[in-house]
Amino acid sequence: MDLNQLKTFVTVAETASLTRAANLLFLSQPAVSAHIKSLESEFKARLFNRTPEGGIPLLN
């Protein structure tokens, strides 16, 4: 885990969108997805629910 991944996580949580987070962080959407997947792999837990509409509410 690194600071960039944590920053990405916070931005995704705040915006509830991988695309909006990518735009705000000046990253590509696949890069944001990779950061989240890396964190999920490290913690062995899913961090967000991904919806068909592209939303990503936090897990309860």
- What are the pLDDT digits (tens) for 8-51? 999 999 998 899 999 999 999 999 999 999 999 999 999 988 77
Overall pTM surpassing 0.95 (yes/no): no
For the chain, domain boundaries = 1-60
User: Which DSSP string do the residues of 2-32 spell out, in sequence order?
Assistant: -HHHHHHHHHHHHHTBHHHHHHHHT--HHHH
**In angstroms, how far apart are the furthest CA atoms of the chain?**
29
Q: What is the pLDDT of residue 58?
A: 63
By the 10 Å C-beta count (0-12 exposed, 13-18 middle, 19+ buried), 41 is classed as exposed
Q: What is the pLDDT of residue 52?
A: 72
- The CATH code for residues 1-60 is 1.10.10.10
